[in-house]
Structure 1
């Protein structure tokens, strides 16, 4: 059997695992995950939530007329989404096929798919590395001293309080009660850790290891479940934290879209929300696909896209996404993070026992919160706004830039 065929079969199994994760969620958050393969059949072109489309409220009439023009039945139901969007329930029809029809008669910015974000890439539907048991404390920078008191948000899988106790990571005190619980940590047996269980808690720890905890407050939002979240859900969380006045937001997920398209919900979020809150800075993981193809929302000019460096910080991690849209690189390989205790089953079927409250984990998911944490740190030290602190951090990264890589954030 050829290597390409083997790789295709492995990828198909990983996609099926992600589909099961999405279907097995709790609290009514299940959704049908669908996949569109590239023409070669060897890579995933994009993921999407099936059976629904989205359009702007101002484009609803044009969208419904487009259904008529292509001879398709109109949506079975139309409901309100976040940031002025309408959600079109198209029944059991495949959303991507229907979008192809509609985009033959209207522009791509009129109607679109509800894309699915994940923490991975389109050639592998699993982490760069799955977590490994580790017995060592989280390395931290000293507490910053200054007049700033930034408000921070981590949009991920939520926060799991038992991890704070198990890991002994004192800086979780900055989270306090300002979080949504990560209730997808374990399977029903209460001891087997789900894929991505504890991911949001780990990302929050990475941020706090740099920002310190005495001068910041952090809220951790819960939307990225089982490795994936639909676009409308994450935009709803972004809308919430930005309107609440958060200074810096760290997002550890992204998506690939239909070629030539950008995700409609993120476009609406920027137009209706973010540009009215110019003092909020959004930091986003650049993705783990080793590609320069746009990975959204990191590829937008209104975010800071963070790629990953190797463990020593002296080169780009080979799996990190690259491109002109990646604004800075930070350490994302072999990050020491708090992690739930229990049994973890790897993709190859082997298992590991976690009993020390920590793990080694790699990905741009663990590089982005380092940059967000450094922006918060400069806000504390210098008493400046988030955009000013962002510019300071990017200028520092430019000074430490590596040839062939780009701006690099090197921690002291």
Structure 2
């Protein structure tokens, strides 16, 4: 049986967020994850309107009495969002939530008259974007040079560009890696399980910081461990966590974010909208990963790059395959993706250089590319058997590897820090203090293009990145 990555990630995230019943959506399909029995609305009059409308319709739609429609979290916060209970989260399984779907449906006409969105699911935002990772890390020897290789620009404290990475925390031994000499931030809360095995996505933030530092050495990188819990967080909490991330050190020049979700809409995420409005009014440039579901569906917050008012404030980044000629098979794409950068089989620091540590694969590889591509992509190479793909099957014993510092890893998660690093490097090289101006200048000067789903797109290729030849794609890939 072929692996079911989305279902596997759903089970993994549900175990991690065991106190929050989750569903796959929309309805009976599998495009994103969200909290069961709860919707989001803006505080104040809009929240009251949502409550009243849902209460009016629910005896027909969900069989709930008027006293069962209530606020799950009445206090306000900087996001201006209220969670409203519309159903019993213990009912049904994870294949959609009729109560939430009916609540959304009951507000549809009212939203049309109001001219704006009033209600939303409470989506799960995750670094396993669309709950579908590009792949899992592959160990490489310590002697393997990073790719991208470190740029030779010297570090100067007075001119270093501030970059904030919101992700998992730093590994305890990260300072053993010379590339991360000017990186600070939060520690990874728990690196290994009770058996001493690395947990899934541990090292994600450290790897991102290493990629960024290699492309732009003249940076002060701060890593926040906002996404430690299996790399997933509810939309209702994410906006507040983003505010907290910038509160401690002020708004950075560049914010690198390798997480998000789709929501089936084209107008953003309700839970982070207040943060995105403040970001728009600041000078910070958000560089965001486009997601790994091989889809053209807008992925947030990266897709804010295509919304009026955020064009200069957000740079959405898709992933190129290892030769830089085409898009990686897993990369999201579409007109809302503004640029592409190398994101397949990058090499960098997963941990520091302490004691070797084991990792057990969670997902099995496929016999062929699950997206129909014909080259040796990360869907099928290297071969491995994972815990989540073969539950209870003695013949499907999961593969274990040892990490000794360096890893190869793929995903738009890593294309985003490549692009963030190029913006920062441009700022240093041109003495540019405005990251949004640097973004415009960088894209205007692009000399390289790649082909992604038939479109020719800007390719941001670091001078120190080494392309690897791959077999040509099959027809139609």
TM-score by length of 1: 0.85
User: In structure 1, what is the Cα distance between the partners aligned to 2:406 and 2:140?
Assistant: 5
The corresponding residue for 1:175 is 183
Find 2:133's aligned residue among 127, 135, 140: 127
User: In structure 2, what is the Cα distance between the partners aligned to 1:377 and 1:175?
Assistant: 16
Find 2:238's aligned residue among 231, 234, 243: 234
Contact 1:60–1:86 (CA under 8 A) maintained in structure 2: yes
User: In structure 2, what is the Cα distance between the partners aligned to 1:151 and 1:88?
Assistant: 38
Find 2:219's aligned residue among 216, 219, 234: 216
Q: Quick one: structure 1 residues 9 and 265, their matched pair in 2 at CA, closer, same or farther if it must change by over 3 Å? A: closer
The corresponding residue for 2:357 is 342
The corresponding residue for 2:7 is 12
Contact 2:449–2:456 (CA under 8 A) maintained in structure 1: yes
Shift of 1:76: 4.6
Please, which runs of 5 or more residues in structure 2 have no aligned partner? 59-65, 90-96, 364-385, 388-397, 464-477
Q: Quick one: structure 1 residues 115 and 162, their matched pair in 2 at CA, closer, same or farther if it must change by over 3 Å? A: same
Find 2:459's aligned residue among 375, 386, 408: 408
Mean Cα displacement is larger for which, 90-99 or 127-136? 90-99
Contact 1:249–1:283 (CA under 8 A) maintained in structure 2: yes
Please, which runs of 5 or more residues in structure 1 have no aligned partner? 1-5, 24-29
Map residues 176-215 of structure 1 onto 2, 5 A cutoff: 176=184, 179-189=185-195, 191-212=196-217, 215=218
Count of matched residue positions in the alignment of Structure 1 and Structure 2: 385
Q: What's the C-alpha RMSD, in Å, of the aligned pairs?
A: 2.5
Q: For 1:322, what is the secondary structure of its paired residue?
A: coil
Per-residue CA shift, 1:159-207, capped at 9, x if unaligned? Answer: 2231332xxx21312223xx12211321123x21111111111111111
Shift of 1:145: 7.0
TM-score by length of 2: 0.74
The corresponding residue for 1:26 is none
User: In structure 2, what is the Cα distance between the partners aligned to 1:335 and 1:140?
Assistant: 13
Verify: 1:255 aligned to 2:261, yes or no: yes
Q: Quick one: structure 1 residues 355 and 119, their matched pair in 2 at CA, closer, same or farther if it must change by over 3 Å? A: closer
User: In structure 2, what is the Cα distance between the partners aligned to 1:67 and 1:10?
Assistant: 34
User: In structure 1, what is the Cα distance between the partners aligned to 2:214 and 2:75?
Assistant: 41
Q: Quick one: structure 1 residues 49 and 55, their matched pair in 2 at CA, closer, same or farther if it must change by over 3 Å? A: same
User: In structure 1, what is the Cα distance between the partners aligned to 2:174 and 2:182?
Assistant: 14
Q: For 1:337, what is the secondary structure of its paired residue?
A: strand
Q: For 2:137, what is the secondary structure of its paired residue?
A: strand
User: In structure 2, what is the Cα distance between the partners aligned to 1:74 and 1:343?
Assistant: 48
Contact 1:309–1:315 (CA under 8 A) maintained in structure 2: yes
The corresponding residue for 2:61 is none
Per-residue CA shift, 1:269-291, capped at 9, x if unaligned? Answer: 223x12221x1100011111111
The corresponding residue for 1:280 is 284
Higher gyration radius (CA): 2
User: In structure 2, what is the Cα distance between the partners aligned to 1:352 and 1:133?
Assistant: 11
Shift of 1:325: 0.6
Contact 1:283–1:372 (CA under 8 A) maintained in structure 2: yes
The corresponding residue for 1:327 is 338
Q: Quick one: structure 1 residues 219 and 102, their matched pair in 2 at CA, closer, same or farther if it must change by over 3 Å? A: farther
The corresponding residue for 1:57 is 43
